Amino acid sequence: MTIANLSKRLEKIEAARHVGAPKGLVSFVPLTDEEEADAKRNWRQWVADGRAKLQWGCIVIPAPKLTVEEWVAETTKYRGEPVH
């Protein structure tokens, strides 16, 4: 691998990176208008705090992770099994 090859690879990676403000917001939890505006305005802080991620040039606010019991309760209706 030469320096020229490494430089080309680095240029390709850098060109694919998103630069600037995010182009949108995707949230898997309900947000108030104020929270949405704050997430857009202070997206770097939301990412640093772990409340959001930056993916595909968009702010993504994931749903909270479910415990095993919560997941079973949520998915039981799809399996036709009774809830204990």
Query: Domain span at residue 65?
Result: 19-79
In a domain, 3, yes or no: no
Please name the residues in contact with 73: beta carbons below 8 A apart, sequence gap of 6 or more: 83
Give the C-alpha separation, 11 to 73, whole Å: 48
Strand partners, 25: 59
In a domain, 74, yes or no: yes
| Number of domains present in the structure of the chain | 1
Indicate the pTM of the whole model: 0.61
Give the C-alpha separation, 2 to 68, whole Å: 50
In a domain, 12, yes or no: no
| pLDDT attached to residue 17 | 66
In a domain, 8, yes or no: no
In a domain, 24, yes or no: yes
pLDDT tens for the chain, 84 residues long, are: 799 998 888 888 777 666 678 889 999 999 999 999 999 999 999 999 999 999 888 999 999 899 999 998 888 888 775 666
